[in-house]
């Protein structure tokens, strides 16, 4: 093959690839609780824009991926991690919805968690009783909240015989807690979708158990053209769908967070 024919052939191949290539999908990273609560199903059912590829993981892992530029949009629920890891990597910040965490455990409630006055008191009771507790231990939003509650209770549980880290997602952690007759912390919309594991919701009445979800459009050298449209859709259609959900006791599964999307310098 002559040099000219090789060049022409290469140009034809390049042109053919350009004609047949598909647009890059919108890469959306989110957490196990968004997936396992069923909230992600709303995207599959109602989003009609660019093709979405979803990455699921603990909040810490998802945020690190976003900071590396591997994701276009993220939805997480770990405010302290978000502020630290995403600094300088955000175009838009959108307060989506909030759910509630619950402290769940065995029906017999050996630590008397249901009688606690505050969430920190509930955790202190678990520690004082030496009752089993299963932590996610995975830098998820749930794990970050749990650690904050131990700190508020003045307890360092790591290394204690009664404290177990699953290193796994919410559902797997709940299953392990049920098997061991242990306590755990769980996002309520996720917990109510779990099979009947024999765990009870024991304590929810504390503002510290609020679980805020935030959507971020990630700063990219070439932002995905559908990222802002997805954020606008999420704040309108997705949020309204989630606000209509009810827990078995009739209370809202998700609450509206104040504000709309704001640009981040």
Q: Alpha-carbon dihedral of residues 179, 248, 98, 113, nearest 10 degrees?
A: -50
Residue-wise pLDDT for 171-202, tens only, equals: 999 999 999 999 999 999 999 999 899 999 99
pTM (2 d.p.): 0.89
Closest to 70 (Cα-Cα) out of 50, 48, 49, 85:
85
Residues in the chain: 265
Tell me which of 222 and 7 has the higher pLDDT: 222
Fold of the 23-98+211-263 domain: D-Maltodextrin-Binding Protein; domain 2 (3.40.190)
What's the CA gap between 135 and 182, in Å, rounded? 10
Over 70: is that where the pLDDT of 169 sits? yes
| Residue 18, pLDDT score | 41
H or E segment to which residue 167 belongs: none
Q: What pLDDT does residue 21 have?
A: 64
Residue with tokens 């034809």: 12
Q: What phi and psi values does residue 260 have, to the nearest 5 degrees?
A: -130, -175
> Running DSSP on this structure, what letter comes out for residue 211?
E
pLDDT digits (tens, 9 = 90+) for 206-254: 999 999 999 999 999 999 999 999 999 999 999 999 999 999 999 999 9
Distances (CA, A) of 27 to 165, 217, 256: 30, 10, 25
Q: How many helices (H) and strands (E) does the chain have?
A: 11, 11
pLDDT tens-digit readout, 120-161: 999 999 999 999 999 999 999 999 999 999 999 999 999 999
Correct CATH for 100-209 of 3.40.190.10, 3.20.20.80, 2.40.50.140, 2.70.98.10: 3.40.190.10
**pLDDT bracket for residue 11 (50, 70, 90):** very low
Tokens 């997480």 -> residue: 76
Quick: pLDDT tens for 33-83. 999 999 999 999 999 999 999 999 999 999 999 999 999 999 999 999 999
Higher pLDDT, 248 or 20: 248
pLDDT of residue 265: 77
Specify the pLDDT at position 22: 79
pLDDT score recorded for residue 36: 96
How do beta strands 90-105 and 255-256 pair? antiparallel
Q: List CB contacts of 11: < 8 A, sequence separation 6 or more.
A: none
Identical fold, 23-98+211-263 and 100-209: yes
Nearest alpha-carbon partner for 244 in 233, 235, 255, 234? 255
Domain boundaries, the chain: 23-98+211-263, 100-209
Residue with more model confidence, 16 or 50 = 50
DSSP string, 134-160: EE--SS-HHHHHHHHHHHHHT---TT-
Both tokens of 119, joined, read 């969430």
Residue 9 half-sphere exposure, CB side, CA atoms within 13 Å?
6
* 13, two tokens: 């191949």
d(CA 137, CA 3): 60
- pLDDT score for 23: 85
């Amino acid at each position: 093959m002559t040099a000219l024919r090789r060049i022409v052939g290469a140009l034809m191949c390049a042109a053919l690839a350009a004609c047949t290539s598909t647009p890059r999908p919108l890469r959306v990273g989110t957490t196990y609780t968004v997936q396992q609560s069923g909230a992600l199903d709303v995207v599959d059912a109602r989003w009609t824009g660019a093709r979405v590829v979803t990455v699921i993981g603990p909040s810490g892992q998802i945020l690190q991926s976003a900071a590396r530029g591997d994701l276009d949009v993220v939805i997480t629920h770990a405010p302290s991690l978000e502020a630290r890891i995403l600094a300088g990597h955000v175009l838009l910040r959108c307060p989506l919805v909030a759910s509630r965490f619950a402290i769940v455990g065995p029906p017999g409630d050996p630590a008397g968690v249901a009688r606690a006055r505050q969430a920190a008191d509930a955790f202190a009771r678990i520690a004082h009783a030496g009752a089993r507790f299963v932590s996610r231990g995975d830098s998820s939003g749930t794990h970050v909240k749990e650690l904050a509650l131990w700190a508020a209770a003045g307890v360092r549980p790591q290394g204690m015989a009664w404290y177990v880290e699953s290193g796994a997602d919410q559902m797997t952690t709940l299953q392990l807690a049920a098997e061991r007759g242990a306590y755990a912390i769980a996002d309520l919309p996720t917990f109510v979708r779990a099979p009947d594991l024999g765990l009870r919701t024991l304590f929810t009445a504390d503002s510290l158990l609020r679980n805020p979800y935030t959507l971020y459009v990630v700063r990219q050298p070439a932002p995905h053209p559908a990222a802002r449209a997805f954020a606008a859709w999420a704040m309108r259609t997705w949020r309204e769908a989630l606000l209509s959900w009810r827990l078995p006791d009739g209370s809202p599964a998700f609450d509206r967070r104040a504000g709309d999307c704001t640009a981040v310098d």
